[in-house]
Structure 1
């Protein structure tokens, strides 16, 4: 199956926009308000025994899907670029600088607001330890964030959730180095394999040497400080070297998808594996709920089990991306938007010829493109929104499921409302400016295509049966009757 250029442009449409995963990240952080300022802590304790809540407590695994997707897109786009130009070393710093310019403007703007104005946005009995602590930390550590080294800065309250951006920046540089240092297909597979091995060994060694928990436990004591005092968060969860494994898997996946798109492959013979594709979401929820064993009282998990579980859970979650991403791109499902086909005037007939899409219809929903535009800004600001709304409370709140749901939607809407002007005034203009400076229009290219278009085009070796719906073909020497010689003049 060979993909044309237009299909290559739209193949990753369902995964370029990360709005749905941003929704899930905000969902995972919103319950912090209930954990921090609850007047019924017994409710919070009971949630640790609820499998549904365990999915949310361990839902931080969703970040690993970001790394798989990021690595996949980088490898795929670099391979496409190699079709037109060589990846030379003078271009390497340009790619790194472009990535820095892509991420930094909205990040720096929000960082500046937190370090200066945010402490004046409200007041309350917990305002100073919740908001004031972050303001002071951002005044002290801002340069680590602009250099994307904050994932190796511990005990800092400043935008602790942006560790992911710092890790992604460094992993992007790692991916670029793989494609710049080695040129052959086999050597690149070896380099990615070595990165994969490092990604598996690093978290296991960190867990063993530092006696860490296998997962990042969300306890009330840890949540009050937004996790920055937790050794597992600092040494295992947010480090670059402990998050390599899924990014390496993403690089390998991008190379494999590119290879498949360039080959003559029949996707229909793989449609028998659709049940495996459909199982990705339930298995992902099961993997998240599996971490509940580390929350149970009276169960001491052996250190060896933690050492194996720490890299293993990331590896298994990355394998789900290996199934979900190509399954969506190669259209294992059929997007069928109607269940009824009308036969005659009165009786509908249910069509069994097409199987309704369970995931593609959701992932390829056009609405995600709208939210996807501002999802990066929403990710940056959402923890500040949670801090401000929590610290403005003057009384403890009664925690229950309904209250958590309402708080989540309040944080979600507020984050995206604030993100909209941030995108319109900062991110989008800077991105357009970077594109203009990086890819200027060539002087020899015509500015007006219509003025330089020929008035007629001669087509040779054409079949006699041609479609004349959109053009008016005039045969050469049409005034004289003779046998058609395959030459057509199209009047434009």
Structure 2
């Protein structure tokens, strides 16, 4: 029998099988892909009797049966009828899946978000994190004054510090780096806004504050922040001294006594208030040049987490009145809170007779240089910077601004009508305030402005709250449909995965830069292109490390909470 005759016989057999075993609907006709497969010899499987019982042919998903019928073009009426219900993992399986990289990685990289999400927050969060990383590497801080752990001793490894720093300090654009500590205030605004907006919506959904699960409210926050924080601390503190080697490598690690006396303050989020003003000397290598000062509390950049948790703890005292009271009375109360915060900062500035931006740098040649910065430093009293910078009563202003902004968005449901004039005035005022705070201390020679004690106190008391108001306007305008191209940029879906990694990036980025700085074999020589490359490198490596940290520590904890408590993510 020839090949053509065999094909004709096969077609006739299939046609007979189709008419005898498949019932068709008068309104719909079946288009079965498997028939064509038999016709062109793509399927060489036999048909099992079990699948053809009762005169009907069951249709199966890919890989479920071995008879070759694969998703027969959604079968006779456009639907697939699986042979059995899909597998649903039980609690033990879900607990194991919480640690699955295969499951968690797509969740991090997913660009979808639920309805009602404030999408502009993603862009602000990511851009603020890049600003933090830029500041941490180039910030003008040194061992003879209050310092942040990351930039603690950057300058002792720079051979052209005495010429490069005065040169760039005269640039108007460099003020964005000098004053990059404002990036932390942006995070406080975001934190207050999201706590207020999401919690008030949940309270409304549940029918009031009395039906709101306050225990879960606190547990979720602690569970969300603490495991990655503590696991990273446990990993790096005792082992960092072994990560690399070199003439600058700290032989005893980064933290005093490997955090033996202070680790519990981080666990309780009180490391910004408990013995936080105590400073000790740490010796990296066997020479006085690499000897530096550090603050006695553990994982120094954790001061922000302590502030954020403390604000969160007291937030119900603001949430409940916001839910029940009228906005006019609440506005007065919140205005009083901000004034009290400003008064504390003003008192500290005035009593210590400090200028609003004195930033001291002592280089190896014992040359003392002062530059503009909105962070208050006193070369006479090194603890003043700590009193003003990391204490919660001095940083609550931007948080309150964000909190009240979230309340407005909740009350209006992000539906506000503004004329073009009002919108333009809002953007103009917000821009003017932001530029004034960021660039207002600039002088052509790079020296601090000659302000009186009263003006300095006023600046330190209001600058961070003014910055918070500017950020709050951007979020408000974008959420209500008046953001234009700014909202399009900040809400770009490609930023969403990077925004999810911001917390882990904050935790790990100091270690990334520390490894680079302390493992060097030679001194650094700074110039513009070098700094750009270093910044981009630190940014990419920090987010790559954050991705691994999130997969290892953060996502499993979120998955465990969802399985054990049945909590779903609402934003």
TM (norm. structure 1) is 0.75
- 8 A contact 2:129–2:183 mirrored in 1: no
- Shift, 1:233, TM fit: 3.0
Give the match for residue 487 of structure 1.
none
Residue 236, structure 1, aligned to residue 357, structure 2:
no
Residue by residue over 1:441-484, the C-alpha shift from the partner in whole angstroms, topping out at 9 and shown as x without a partner, is 9xxxxxxxxxxxxxxxxxxxxxxxxxxxxxxxxxxxxxxxxxxx
User: 1:159: which partner in 2?
Assistant: 299
Q: Distance in 2 between matches of 1:119 and 1:415?
A: 20
User: What's the offset of the Cα at 1:182?
Assistant: 7.1
Tell me, what secondary structure is at the counterpart of 1:192? helix
User: Aligned to 1:127, what secondary structure does the other structure show?
Assistant: coil
Cα distance in 2 for partners of 1:440, 1:96 equals: 13
* 3-state DSSP of counterpart to 2:175: helix
Q: Distance in 1 between matches of 2:158 and 2:347?
A: 37
Report if aligned partners of 1:118, 1:135 keep a CA contact under 8 Å in 2.
Answer: no
Are the structure 2 counterparts of residues 262 and 238 from structure 1 closer, same or farther at C-alpha, using a change threshold of 3 Å?
closer
1:439 match: 566
SS at structure 2 position matched to 1:246: helix
Q: Tell me, yes or no, if the aligned pair for 1:71 and 1:251 is still in contact at 8 Å.
A: yes
Counterpart for residue 292 of structure 2: none
- Number of residue pairs matched by the alignment: 407
Rounded Cα–Cα distance in structure 2 between residues aligned with 1:57 and 1:117: 33
Residue aligning to 2:503: 376
Unaligned runs of 5+ in 1: 1-5, 335-356, 442-492
Q: Is the 8 A contact 2:237 2:253 kept in 1?
A: no
Q: Counterpart of 2:175?
A: 54
1:373, distance to aligned residue in structure 2 (A)? 1.9
Give the 3 Å change call, closer, same or farther, for CA 93–212 of structure 1 in structure 2: farther
Q: Secondary structure at the match of 1:148?
A: coil
Query: Hey, what's the Cα distance between the residues in 2 that align with 1:415 and 1:21?
Result: 14
Find the aligned partners of 2:510 and 2:260 in 1 and give their Cα distance: 17
Tell me if structure 2 keeps the 8 A contact 1:374–1:420.
Answer: yes
**CA shift at 1:319, angstroms?**
1.8
> Partner of 2:73 in structure 1?
none
Separation in 1, partners of 2:260, 2:441:
36
Q: Distance in 2 between matches of 1:93 and 1:211?
A: 45
2:192 paired with 1:192: no
For 2:247, the equivalent position in structure 1 comes to 125
Q: Is the 8 A contact 1:115 1:138 kept in 2?
A: yes
* Equivalence map 1:407-426=2 (5 Å): 407-426=534-553
CA contact (8 A) 1:381 1:415 kept: yes
Given the superposition, is the C-alpha separation of residues 91 and 11 from structure 1 closer, same or farther in structure 2, using an over 3 Å criterion?
closer
Aligned mate of 2:482, from 299, 321, 332: 332
Instruction: Pick the aligned partner of 1:28 from 135, 157, 164.
Output: 135
Q: Please report how far the alpha carbon of residue 164 of structure 1 lies from its aligned counterpart in structure 2 after TM superposition.
A: 1.2
CA distance in 2, matches of 1:104, 1:171: 16
Aligned to 1:219, the other structure's residue is in SS state strand
Superposed CA offset, 1:282-311 (max 9, x none) = 753452122345994485532212111102
Preserved contact between residue 216 and residue 237 of structure 1 (Cα < 8 Å): no
Of 115, 121, 134, which residue of structure 1 is paired with 2:237? 115
Question: Which structure has the greater CA radius of gyration?
Answer: 2
Task: Mark the CA change 1:433 to 1:298 in structure 2 (over 3 Å): closer, same or farther.
Answer: closer
CA contact 1:38–1:397 (8 Å) conserved in 2: yes
Change (3 A) 1:431 1:242: same
C-alpha deviation, 1:180, in angstroms: 3.7
Give the match for residue 306 of structure 1: 456
Instruction: State whether structure 2 residue 316 is matched by structure 1 residue 176.
Output: yes
Number of the residue aligned with 1:203? 345
C-alpha RMSD of matched pairs (Å): 3.1
For the pair 1:249 / 2:401, whether they are aligned, the reply is: yes
Q: Is the 8 A contact 1:378 1:415 kept in 2?
A: yes
Equivalent residue, structure 2, for 1:39: 159
CA change 1:195–1:286 in 2 (3 A) is closer
Report deviation, 1:248: 1.1
| Pairing 1:364–2:491 present | yes
Of 91-100 and 106-115, deviating more is 91-100
Runs of 4+ in 1 over 6 A off after TM superposition: none
CA distance in 2, matches of 1:95, 1:212: 41
Q: Does 1:63 align with 2:184?
A: yes
